[in-house]
Structure 1
Amino acid sequence: MMNEKFLFPSEPSVYHLNDIAVIRLEGPDAEKYLNGQVTCDVTALPIGQSTLGAHCTPKGKVLAVFRLLKRNQDLLMLYKKELADVQLAELKKYAVFSKVTISDVSEQYDILGIAGAGTDIWQATQVKSGSFTEINWIQINPDRWFFLKEKEQPLNLSLPECIAVNWKALDIIDGIPQLSKQTQTEFIPQALNLQALHGISFTKGCYTGQEIVARAKYRGANNRALYILKGSVNQPITTETVIERQVGEHWRISGTILDVWQQKNQVLLSVVLPSDTLPDSIFRVENDQTSTLTLIPVPYSVE
């Protein structure tokens, strides 16, 4: 059985990520406007810091999970490019009433993922030496960062390169949800564990979908959570693949796949399952009786 820990590099390494959109908000009302649209507390975020968050429909369903970076003159949202058509239109819907400009600036940046043992020390050394400005760095977890490289900026990292698909494996192992076109507007933020990832503020003012999100917390209206599965399969897996959970001698369809990392017959999956799923539950792929999938713990406490 695969040991997922081997997917984390033993030294700082770079991943070239081409599937991430960068959305900029600027103007006198940018902070206030975005704060009224998303689950995280934009106004409480210090300049130079980042946070996870979600942008929801009025019914509380997530349009995009994003990482927000607050800079001196603007706000940057990073999330999957395939979600941008729907999400960006919703984000701009009421902008005409505020002094805010919202634009897709993805073409201005190369998004690099940098991860591996010792990356925090390496990053601090690079910033201290003046090789990079600190403002375009986003820390995801210990020894794991995004770097927003401006296209015209020359860059020579001199780091080993990893294939981009393995960045997806790190997201899955870290329990960070990533939506696709298939799962956009399917789940409330708590079903994606965003409350455990500090991506929801329950004390700030109103925002789109806030009533539904608050009800899920205070009335126990949410009964799903993000889990991690690993195992072996005998077919290509996608977010549309059906998985089954063993119940006695029978198998029942269970859960929705959010994200997939696969190398030959070995897979890692992030899956939304009933929140009372037992740790020793056994899963398989539908119509693949030889497949075996088991749960591994998410690396944080879920309420």
Structure 2
Amino acid sequence: MSDTATPTESTSTTGTAHLASANRPKAAIARVESARLYRVGGKDPHKFLHGQLSQSLDDVKPDKSRRAAACNPKGRAYALPLLADYEGDIVLRLPRRIADEVTSQLNKFLMLFRGTDMKPLEQAHLYGFWGEATAEALLPEAMELKLPGDSITLAGGKLIRVQDTAEGVARYEYWQIDDSAPIPEGAEATEADWAASEISAGLAELSPSTMSEYVPQMLNLQHVDGIHFKKGCYTGQEVIARMHYLGQLKKSIFRLSLPSERPVEVGTQIIANDKAVGEVINSVGFDDGHQEILAVVKHAALSTPDWHLEGFDPSLERLPLPYKVPEQEAAGN
């Protein structure tokens, strides 16, 4: 195969040319410019979001944050926000490059909820933390955030434990919501390092070309507590529930490694037995010349050991995720 390809859309969640360090951070802080925070407040933020997200808003509390999907009527996710309670309002973290389109879609339903509003937090800053000791510098004495989703409201901000990496490194997101929030201190890492840790944690991020392409289960969202299958009706619920209860999931997220320095584009196809079996969702390059990828791949391809990226010669190596994916395990047996 040729080692050239037509550029389409960068998959790097950083939006920069920076490379992640192959010596992965274990205790560090990275400022995350690629994300944006929105505050939903006023009369009834919970009721508004409860009808649009795959998560039960009853489970989003001052000490509990949750992931969710916002879907179209066909059950396809157009956003995968992280949700947190802040002073009784709900704050959503969205990728900056799709935030305007996501909020435009949500605003179509917000008009039905007079007295409820959704505003960007223009002065907010986001940080990614690696390591428990890094987070402890902001926590009150004897306070711990043990599990993904555990969170605490700080003066002017929010500290959230998110999914560990597959290598077992604890990770946190720190949201500086206003100027009263403390400024974090610690060893600096890059935003590319944070993007690499998101891939290692098995957390997909949507981009302009992947919005509304996948049912949330195809993005492994059910395995990171992002879907509440017993909550009330929300947009897209019927499709999502049918896939869950009838066992119809035929593809999902895989983490892969590629020994190539050339950037991989969104939508690049995964090839097995000369057939397309999946496509790239996210990728990040490392300073040792390899890349790591999240791709949605058909489970039927598990019977073929050799996978390639279209336009690349080297074979792809399958890497572990930090959580189990029973659907993949069943298909591989």
The interval holding the TM-score normalised by the smaller chain is 0.7 to 0.9
Distance 1:127 1:25 in 2: 31
The answer on 1:81 being equivalent to 2:103 is: no
Distance 1:150 1:126 in 2: 22
**Percent same amino acid among aligned pairs?**
25
**Distance verdict in 2 for CA 1:8–1:122, change over 3 Å:** farther
SS at match of 1:200: coil
The answer on 1:208 being equivalent to 2:231 is: no
Distance 2:51 2:23 in 1: 38
In structure 2, what is the equivalent of residue 9 of structure 1? 25
In structure 2, what is the equivalent of residue 136 of structure 1? 158
In structure 2, what is the equivalent of residue 177 of structure 1? 204
Distance 2:176 2:303 in 1: 41
In structure 1, what is the equivalent of residue 302 of structure 2? 278
In structure 2, what is the equivalent of residue 31 of structure 1? 46
Q: Shift in Å at residue 23 of structure 1?
A: 1.4
Aligned residues of 1:21 and 1:81 also touching (Cα < 8 A): yes
Q: Deviations over 1:103-151 (max 9, x none)?
A: 34241201111113533444435897xxx53851121135211111145
Q: Shift in Å at residue 185 of structure 1?
A: 0.5
TM-score (ref. length: structure 2): 0.80
In structure 1, what is the equivalent of residue 223 of structure 2? 196
Q: Shift in Å at residue 241 of structure 1?
A: 2.7
In structure 2, what is the equivalent of residue 288 of structure 1? 312
Aligned residues of 2:138 and 2:184 also touching (Cα < 8 A): no
Q: Which has the higher strand share?
A: 1
SS at match of 2:232: coil
In structure 2, what is the equivalent of residue 164 of structure 1? 191
Aligned residues of 1:21 and 1:104 also touching (Cα < 8 A): no
**Distance verdict in 2 for CA 1:134–1:302, change over 3 Å:** farther
SS at match of 2:97: helix
Q: Shift in Å at residue 28 of structure 1?
A: 2.4
1:68 to 83, 88, 94: 83
Q: Shift in Å at residue 285 of structure 1?
A: 2.5
Residues 216-225 or 193-202, more deviating: 216-225
**Distance verdict in 2 for CA 1:81–1:203, change over 3 Å:** same
Aligned residues of 1:114 and 1:146 also touching (Cα < 8 A): yes
Larger relative contact order, structure 1 or 2 (CA cutoff 8 Å, min sep 6): 2
Distance 1:113 1:126 in 2: 21
Distance 2:162 2:303 in 1: 26
In structure 2, what is the equivalent of residue 263 of structure 1? 286
Q: Shift in Å at residue 100 of structure 1?
A: 4.5
Unaligned runs of 5+ in 2: 1-19, 144-153, 165-169, 327-333
TM-score (ref. length: structure 1): 0.87
Q: Shift in Å at residue 32 of structure 1?
A: 1.1
Aligned residues of 1:25 and 1:100 also touching (Cα < 8 A): no
In structure 1, what is the equivalent of residue 126 of structure 2? 111
In structure 1, what is the equivalent of residue 11 of structure 2? none
Distance 1:165 1:126 in 2: 32
Q: Shift in Å at residue 5 of structure 1?
A: 10
In structure 1, what is the equivalent of residue 68 of structure 2? 53
Unaligned runs of 5+ in 1: none
Distance 1:274 1:102 in 2: 40
Root-mean-square deviation (CA), in Å?
2.5
Aligned residues of 2:156 and 2:177 also touching (Cα < 8 A): no
In structure 2, what is the equivalent of residue 94 of structure 1? 109
Letter in 1 for 2:320: P
SS at match of 2:30: strand
Between the two proteins, the alignment pairs up a number of residues equal to 292
Distance 1:14 1:114 in 2: 5
Distance 2:215 2:239 in 1: 8
Q: Shift in Å at residue 165 of structure 1?
A: 1.0
Distance 2:276 2:115 in 1: 45
Aligned residues of 1:233 and 1:292 also touching (Cα < 8 A): no
